[in-house]
């Protein structure tokens, strides 16, 4: 960004720490100690920081692996999870930040509680009404908006130095204060006895947790930082750890300065403890809430502006307006106006307790997302992931799991509302931007890592076992991809549920820069052609001949991690010019001990309603079970959902009943969904050729499976299809070994 201010690390630290040490510290922390005791409060601080510290570390790690531009957390999430997921989380994050401005302004008015108490005591008697808190909150919100709109981030950061100084002074006077209270010997200061921790823990946690959520506030300044990769990790981590120790010290100071009853009932107990507490505590509350409001109103518009720059807001005309900045620093002027309007609406309402609980849920979603991104990057072992600051994968995983768990422990109803809102928002964003994706890029590394480990495991633990259950792992090589598509459809049927299918488009050429470029172009066309729903693995191969291509392929493992066990050939039945070439290469396939399937495809439309016909001849003992298994696997595809398998077996004269009983037994023991009515035994007739019988019975079949022997095609390749001219697509099958059906 040209001419940007170039802030250092201190603004990140100040924005974060001023938001961490905010309204909850002065208004509710005494209530927490009084409700669950010192040790219970300590546990809340630890559990809360088991979420915030992993998030801070994950955020720091991701920020040092990529150039973080405007938008902070949104930029990181969107560039990791993709723009649609990023927009969903980003919009929720923005609304949380915008409404947080209102929350802090309303809390700011609490610093005027003594004034309101006295004035309203007089006004209720003299005038008959009480002055509303909006008398302070609305002008404060308006003044803050004008300040940021006129002076921008520079003035906001300067103001942070001032308010943090007041905050530090008020805390110092609190720590040196003394009420004269002496804890009883058995008061349980260092035990879980004080307070009903079992019943109150998560109730108190839900109230206190927003106090810890400010650690990522400084990340929103990413677009205005001189060196984000240095300032974000250092500023965020330092503020998080420093804030945690401050809260522990405050909890201890409260415990030794007042009784549990006073702490739980008096929200302004810190005024009684601090030196000049009547003045400095309201001043500190005003400073902390105002600084938090400044931090939020600096960050929220930048998140909104980044969303608009990415065209991620569902109302498209708004993107152009909100993406615009003003001045040499590209201040998010219009985004600040929108943020101020949203915040002002909630300030006028004056009741944000319910909204604040939902905000906490959205912050949990954001933190969980950041931890998940870090964990997935670690697990995926992407070599391009080289952050200069490194966390540990198990720290990120703990942060993610705790975020999800705590959401439901804090408030199941609001957790469900938050998640449902995110789902609805995601569908709205995805519907507006159907062309965008990106989440798959993050999970691709995880899938690769799982696949790598599983394939190595399978290879190391595979034993030769004759009784092992068979499933197809089919490979096909063809140079006629764009002329005929039946073989692609067959592979899709096989690999839909039960098997694996690899299709290799052959480019008969020598490897060169030009042929490699051609290969890439064809590969892209093939992926587009098969679509996202297909389960076929597509590749290309440059080889000087069909034979050399086969020799290379059959030596390589299949994509499943198991070896390929079937080779699929294909030719045009109406013009079988490729048959001789197929016949020449059968020896190679047999040498690899692979099953062989040869698809004789036609241009005829597949008649799915006529089903799949399986023909078993006297000489087909080795092939029969393989054909039956293949037919079962193919028909499970949704295109065959209204189809059925019919099995025909040619039996010698007088063997009808014997053959049928045997075949029905195979079907029954194999639990195959083939009705006995669809099993037909045909006794052989010397006067009628088997091919003629097959042609007559299966002339209209959607697909016909017929066994063959290697010698048959070697003698005369053309004989393979002779007599079958009137039929549709035929799959000729040759099994390397007999397959068991059990």
Residue 465 domain flag: no
Based on the domain organization, do 485 and 424 belong to the same domain? no
Q: Give the pLDDT mean for 71-86.
A: 74
Residue 438 has pLDDT above 60, yes or no: no
Residue 524 vs residue 210, higher pLDDT: 524
Based on the domain organization, do 514 and 383 belong to the same domain? no
Task: Count up the domains in the chain and report the number.
Answer: 2
Based on the domain organization, do 95 and 40 belong to the same domain? yes
Q: Mean pLDDT, the chain, as a whole number?
A: 81
Q: Which of 124-138, 149-163, 409-423, 539-553 has the highest mean pLDDT?
A: 539-553
Based on the domain organization, do 150 and 38 belong to the same domain? yes
pLDDT at residue 610, as a whole number? 92
Residue 86 domain flag: yes
- Domain, as residue range, for 430: 10-179+193-440
- pLDDT tens digits for range 613-635: 999 987 787 888 899 999 999 99
Residue 457 domain flag: no
pLDDT at residue 157, as a whole number? 63
Based on the domain organization, do 591 and 650 belong to the same domain? yes
Residue 740 domain flag: no
Residue 461 domain flag: no
Residue 477 has pLDDT above 50, yes or no: yes
Q: Which of 25, 319, 325, 302 is nearest to 156 (CA)?
A: 302
Q: How far apart are CA 339 and CA 362, in angstroms?
A: 17
Residue 604's contacts (CB-CB under 8 Å, 6 or more residues apart) are 728, 729
Based on the domain organization, do 425 and 492 belong to the same domain? no
Based on the domain organization, do 406 and 477 belong to the same domain? no
Q: What percent of the chain has pLDDT over 70?
A: 84
Q: Which helix or strand (DSSP H or E) is residue 703 part of?
A: strand 703-707
Residue 335 has pLDDT above 80, yes or no: yes
pLDDT at residue 701, as a whole number? 94
Tokens, residue 624:
């029969």
- pLDDT tens digits for range 202-252: 778 877 877 777 776 666 555 667 777 677 788 888 888 898 999 999 999
Cβ pair 563, 592 in contact under 8 A: no
Least confident range of 314-323, 467-476, 521-530: 467-476
Based on the domain organization, do 414 and 510 belong to the same domain? no
Residue 384 domain flag: yes
pLDDT at residue 3, as a whole number? 43
What phi, psi does 40 have (nearest 5°)?
-65, -40
Name the domain boundary from 422, 440, 458: 440
Based on the domain organization, do 514 and 653 belong to the same domain? yes
Name the domain boundary from 415, 440, 465: 440
Cβ pair 74, 93 in contact under 8 A: yes
- pLDDT tens digits for range 128-147: 677 777 788 888 888 888 87
Q: Give the pLDDT mean for 448-467.
A: 61
Residue 388 domain flag: yes
Q: How many CA atoms lie within 13 A of 370 on its CB side?
A: 30
Look at residue 6 and give its three-state secondary structure.
Answer: coil
CATH number, domain of 324, equals 1.20.1740.10
Say what the pTM is. 0.62
Q: Roughly what angle, to the nearest 10 degrees, separates helices 197-208 and 29-63? A: 60
Based on the domain organization, do 267 and 365 belong to the same domain? yes
Alpha helices in 131-274 (DSSP H): 134-175, 197-208, 228-257, 260-265, 269-273
Residue 382 vs residue 244, higher pLDDT: 244
Look at residue 129 and give its three-state secondary structure.
Answer: coil
Task: Kindly state the greatest CA–CA separation across the chain.
Answer: 122
What phi, psi does 596 have (nearest 5°)?
-125, 135
Residue 269 domain flag: yes
Q: What percent of the chain has pLDDT over 90?
A: 20
Q: How far apart are CA 608 and CA 585, in angstroms?
A: 32
Name the domain boundary from 424, 440, 456: 440
Q: How far apart are CA 224 and CA 234, in angstroms?
A: 16
CATH number, domain of 730, equals 3.40.50.12370
Based on the domain organization, do 432 and 477 belong to the same domain? no
């Amino acid at each position: 960004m040209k001419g940007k201010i170039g802030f250092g690390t201190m603004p990140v630290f100040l924005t974060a720490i001023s938001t961490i040490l905010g309204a909850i510290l002065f208004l509710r922390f005494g209530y927490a100690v009084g409700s669950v005791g010192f040790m219970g409060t300590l546990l809340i601080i630890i559990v809360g920081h088991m979420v915030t510290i992993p998030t801070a570390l994950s955020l720091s790690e991701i920020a040092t692996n990529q150039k973080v531009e405007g938008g902070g957390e949104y930029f990181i999430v969107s560039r990791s999870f993709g723009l649609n997921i990023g927009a969903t989380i980003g919009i929720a994050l923005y609304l949380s930040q915008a409404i947080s401005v209102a929350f802090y302004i309303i809390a700011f008015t609490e610093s005027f509680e003594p004034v309101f108490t006295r004035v309203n005591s007089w006004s209720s008697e003299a005038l008959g009404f009480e002055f509303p808190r909006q008398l302070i909150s609305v002008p404060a919100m308006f003044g803050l908006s004008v300040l940021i709109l006129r002076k921008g981030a520079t003035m906001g950061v300067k103001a942070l130095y001032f308010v943090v100084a007041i905050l530090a002074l008020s805390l110092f006077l609190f720590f040196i204060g003394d009420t004269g209270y002496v804890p009883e010997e058995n008061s349980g200061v260092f035990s879980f006895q004080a307070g009903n921790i079992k019943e109150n823990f998560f109730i108190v946690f839900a109230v206190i947790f927003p106090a810890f959520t400010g650690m990522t506030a400084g990340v929103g300044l990413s677009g205005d930082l001189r060196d984000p990769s240095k300032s974000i990790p250092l500023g965020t981590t330092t503020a998080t750890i420093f804030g945690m120790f401050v809260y522990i010290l405050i909890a201890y100071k409260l415990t030794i300065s007042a009784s549990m009853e006073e702490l739980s009932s008096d929200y302004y107990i810190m005024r009684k403890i601090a030196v000049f507490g009547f003045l400095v505590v309201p001043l500190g509350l005003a400073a902390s809430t105002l600084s938090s409001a400044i931090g939020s109103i600096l960050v929220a518009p930048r998140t909104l502006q980044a969303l608009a720059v990415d065209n991620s807001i569902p109302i498209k005309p708004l993107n152009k307006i909100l993406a615009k900045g003003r001045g040499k620093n590209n201040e998010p002027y219009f985004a600040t106006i929108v943020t101020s309007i949203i915040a002002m609406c909630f300030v006028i309402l004056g009741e944000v307790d319910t909204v604040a609980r939902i905000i906490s849920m959205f912050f949990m979603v954001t933190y969980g997302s950041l931890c998940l991104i870090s964990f997935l990057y670690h697990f995926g072992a992407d070599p391009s992931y080289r952050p200069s600051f490194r966390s540990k994968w198990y720290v990120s995983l703990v942060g993610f799991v705790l975020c999800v768990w705590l959401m439901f422990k804090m408030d199941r109803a609001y957790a469900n509302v938050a998640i449902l809102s995110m789902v609805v928002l995601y569908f709205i964003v995805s519907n507006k931007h159907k062309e965008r994706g990106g989440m798959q890029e993050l999970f691709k590394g995880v899938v690769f890592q799982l696949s790598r480990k599983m394939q190595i495991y399978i290879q190391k633990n595979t034993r030769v076992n004759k009784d092992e259950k068979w499933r197809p792992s089919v490979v096909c090589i063809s140079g006629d991809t764009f002329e005929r598509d039946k073989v692609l459809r067959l592979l899709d049927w096989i690999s839909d549920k039960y098997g694996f299918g690899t299709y290799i488009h052959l480019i008969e050429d020598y490897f060169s820069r030009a042929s490699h470029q051609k290969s890439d172009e064809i590969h892209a066309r093939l992926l587009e052609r098969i679509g996202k729903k297909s389960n076929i693995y597509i590749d290309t191969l440059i080889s000087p001949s069909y034979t050399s291509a086969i020799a290379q392929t059959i030596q390589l493992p299949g994509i499943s991690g198991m070896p390929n066990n079937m080779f699929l050939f294909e030719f045009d039945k109406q013009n079988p010019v490729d048959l001789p070439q197929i016949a020449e290469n059968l020896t190679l396939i047999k040498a690899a001990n692979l099953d062989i399937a040869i698809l004789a495809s036609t241009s005829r439309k597949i008649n799915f309603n006529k089903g799949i016909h399986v023909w078993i001849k006297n000489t087909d003992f080795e092939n029969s079970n393989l054909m039956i298994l293949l037919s079962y696997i193919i028909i499970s595809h949704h295109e065959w959902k209204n189809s059925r398998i019919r099995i025909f077996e040619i039996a010698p004269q007088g063997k009808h009943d014997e053959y049928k009983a045997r075949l029905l037994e195979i079907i029954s023991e194999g639990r195959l969904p083939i009705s006995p009515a669809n099993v037909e035994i045909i006794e052989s007739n010397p006067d009628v050729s088997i091919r003629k019988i097959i042609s007559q019975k299966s002339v209209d079949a959607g697909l016909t499976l017929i066994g063959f022997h290697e010698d048959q095609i070697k003698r005369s390749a053309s004989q393979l299809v002779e007599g079958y001219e009137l039929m549709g697509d035929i799959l000729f099958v040759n099994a390397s070994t007999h397959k068991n059906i059990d």
